[in-house]
Amino acid sequence: MIVRSHRTALLMLTFVAFVWGSEFTLIDLAMEVMPVNTFNSIRFTLAGLALIPLFLFSAERIPTQQTPLCCSKARFSAYCCLLLFIRRQKGLGTPACRTRGLSQD
């Protein structure tokens, strides 16, 4: 995406700075109400949903021949992230983590 207008670039920069700066306050407030994993799953789901219009309306298109390859790479990445998440959750349940205060029980 090429931004040719200085005003548009400034508005986009201001929006990103606002979102980035307000994130820390929202995280502190949310940690009092919900568990960390629930908050992160909601946060990343909303971020993914926010990227869908950018994907649909961007000028760059993925060639039809590459679509299955891109989808399979995305599925593989999601599967790896899921496995790492599950491994991390099981690792926090070990006695060594509980004695060091790392568990959220």
Question: Which pLDDT score, from 0 to 100, does residue 14 have?
Answer: 92
Shared-domain flag, residues 8 and 25: yes
Shared-domain flag, residues 68 and 57: no
Mean pLDDT of 44-72: 80
pLDDT at residue 52 greater than cutoff 80: yes
Residues 6+ apart with CB under 8 A from 89: 37
Greater model confidence, 7 or 64: 7
Encode pLDDT of 18-37 as tens digits: 888 888 888 888 888 888 87
Greater model confidence, 41 or 97: 41
Calculate the dihedral angle through the C-alpha atoms of 34, 40, 43, 46, rounding to the nearest 10 degrees: -110
Paired tokens of 87: 């491994």
Look at the pTM and tell me if it is higher than 0.85: no
Question: Which pLDDT score, from 0 to 100, does residue 8 have?
Answer: 86
pLDDT at residue 102 greater than cutoff 60: no
pLDDT at residue 44 greater than cutoff 80: yes
Shared-domain flag, residues 53 and 4: yes
Query: Rounded distance, CA 95 to CA 105, Å?
Result: 12
How many domains is the chain partitioned into structurally? 2
Q: What range defines the domain where residue 27 resides? A: 1-61
